[in-house]
Structure 1
Amino acid sequence: MRFTAAAKVFVLFGDPVEHSLSPAMQNAALQAAGIDGLYIPWRVKSADLPTAFESLRGMENFGGANVTLPHKEQAAVLVDTLTKEAASVGAVNTVVARGGRLLGANTDGQGFLRSLHEEADYLPRGKPAVILGAGGAARAVSVGLAEAGAEEIVIVNRTIERAQSLAEFVNRETGVSAVGLGLDDPRMPARVRNCALMVNTTSVGLSPSDPPSIDPSLLQPGMLVYDLIYRPLETALLREATKRGCQVMGGLGMLLYQGALAFELWTGQKPSEEAMRQALVAAIA
């Protein structure tokens, strides 16, 4: 990888960030496009995120940024303006430089839906979905599914207040029926068993020693179980889902597609998705 002292700098904000494959993917895209730039991870605590964002405004060679767990919702109030998608979701995963001002965008929903369609031939319209988690990724996935015509969206979260708040947000913004439940809610098992799609948006599974993010006995043959975690490729949830005859998907496709959209927002160019995919495969290997 070659770059000069005038290189554009692209950053990834998160905590943690060491597991992320975005640097490998985006640096491959920059190199394939012949862009003088470098993408680096920047681990930052939530309390320090406002300072980190403010530093971007004075960085003349700032090229753009991604935002990952747990900062996506906080980032939405730290930028100057929001795209329609980011405003409808209330979370930001992509920051674009606009003449010293910061534009907050969200490519997660589009990336997620594209991966569903292209990799699983799955269309959400008329089908019930369960979302595990209630953070920034859950907001993007929930709104994306609602706008794609999902019949009902059930948000399941350890903290029921956050689940209910997100469900109310989805209902208000999209008009699609959404329900927020806690992990110990007696209605939860039946909702999971009867869903067509279950998506884990939590960080449970990042460590190989993590248990499944939900009781595996609730998983039914034929349902699609999607874990947004992409490293490891097979989380405990996906392993248990496979044993029970479920269709399974990891988060690598969503990572690729949301990253390609972010690259286009930053540079005005469509990236080489093949170069990005090859970099992801090599990084995992």
Structure 2
Amino acid sequence: MTDVSPAIPYAEVIGDPIVQSKSPAIHGYWIRQLGLDADYRAAHVTAEGLADYLISRRADPAWRGCNVTMPHKQAVIPLLDRLDPLAARIGAVNTIVAEQGQLVGYNTDAGGFLEPLRAELAKQHLFRMARVLGTGGAARAIIAALARENVVIVLAGRNTEKAQALLDELDPGGEHHVAPLDHFAGATDFPFDDREGCFDVVVNASPLGMAGQVPLAFDLSHAPPGSIVYDIVTHPLETPLLKAARAAGFQTVDGLAMLIGQAAEAFERFFGIAPPRGDGDAALRGILTA
């Protein structure tokens, strides 16, 4: 009688294209550090093959789930058994987990985005405001995350009607505002009031500044004193916006913070254990930027 060893548990990332994904490097590093008997892979899945992919994985007892990248974050929703309430509110899924025979959709982008801001948001503030630049897919999770933290949002996009529709959908009761993206391109002499006790963040939620894209046109005179400047672009990690903000004395957060944060939440859902992050992700960042 042949002894057949069970397949090791695995998770993966799906998308089209997929070669650019850093998820295998992140999850693979954590698996090695923990000594887990597990694997993490990348799978190229087209829009036409998405339904068949999920059917095949549903039948695989070793499959723990997958991370979902573009262009599937919304297309997967009708193919799942249920959604986590936050994913339902955002209207996008970036993590699918196999749970007791069901495929459950989560959105860990929101938590990953907030992670580097948690210490500041744990404080009491007189007022909280965010200037969010961009109205694409990444902005959905960011808007929902900030709204849950009682942040007033100024959403800037090329199409202000689209920006307003996004705010109305994601936080219909919020007192938010819209602005054309080019409003922030030129200098302003607006006399900001006393920002002591306030929380201010500027977020580039667009691909502007990414390699192959033009830089984001944002004049830092629009950033209130004491603002945090946060750019979700990961290539390059040091975007023109972050470089200028740091030179001007602003606190900055780069795109790897959100990327690693969202991956950490997904990793724990896949494998039932928190990833090792005791070094503040220094070693992992070294791998991802090598």
- Structure 2 length normalisation: TM-score? 0.80
* Residue aligning to 1:259: 263
* Residue aligning to 2:203: 199
Q: 1 or 2, which has the higher helix percentage?
A: 1
Distance 1:51 1:216, change over 3 A: farther
Deviations 1:99-131 (A, max 9, x none): 44210011222222221134x778695221122
| SS state at 1:270 partner | coil
Give the one of 278, 281, 285 matched to 1:280: 285
Distance 2:50 2:79 in 1: 9
* Residue aligning to 1:167: 167
* Residue aligning to 1:155: 155
Distance 1:5 1:264 in 2: 22
Gaps of 5+ in 1: none
The 8 Å contact of residues 11 and 65 in structure 1, kept in 2 or not, is answered as: yes
> Is residue 89 of structure 1 aligned with residue 90 of structure 2?
yes
Map 1:181-220 → 2, pairs under 5 A: 181-184=179-182, 196-207=200-211, 209-216=212-219, 219-220=222-223
* Residue aligning to 2:74: 73
- Which structure is larger by alpha-carbon Rg, 1 or 2? 2
Deviations 1:75-103 (A, max 9, x none): 33332211122122221111101244210
Question: What RMSD in Å do the two structures reach over aligned CA positions?
Answer: 3.2
- Aligned pair count reads 276
The 8 Å contact of residues 182 and 217 in structure 2, kept in 1 or not, is answered as: no
The 8 Å contact of residues 216 and 237 in structure 1, kept in 2 or not, is answered as: no
Q: Which amino acid aligns with 1:83?
A: D
Q: Which moved more, 1:33-42 or 1:263-272?
A: 33-42
Distance 1:28 1:224, change over 3 A: same
The 8 Å contact of residues 220 and 245 in structure 2, kept in 1 or not, is answered as: no
Q: Which amino acid aligns with 1:224?
A: I
Q: Which moved more, 1:275-284 or 1:197-206?
A: 275-284
Distance 1:114 1:193 in 2: 31
* Residue aligning to 2:34: 33
Distance 1:218 1:14, change over 3 A: farther
> Is residue 239 of structure 1 aligned with residue 243 of structure 2?
yes
Distance 1:203 1:193 in 2: 30
* Residue aligning to 1:49: 50
The 8 Å contact of residues 76 and 86 in structure 1, kept in 2 or not, is answered as: no
Q: Which moved more, 1:256-265 or 1:275-284?
A: 275-284
Give the one of 251, 254, 268 matched to 1:250: 254
The 8 Å contact of residues 211 and 237 in structure 1, kept in 2 or not, is answered as: no
Distance 1:122 1:224, change over 3 A: farther
Distance 2:187 2:6 in 1: 56
Distance 1:242 1:67, change over 3 A: same
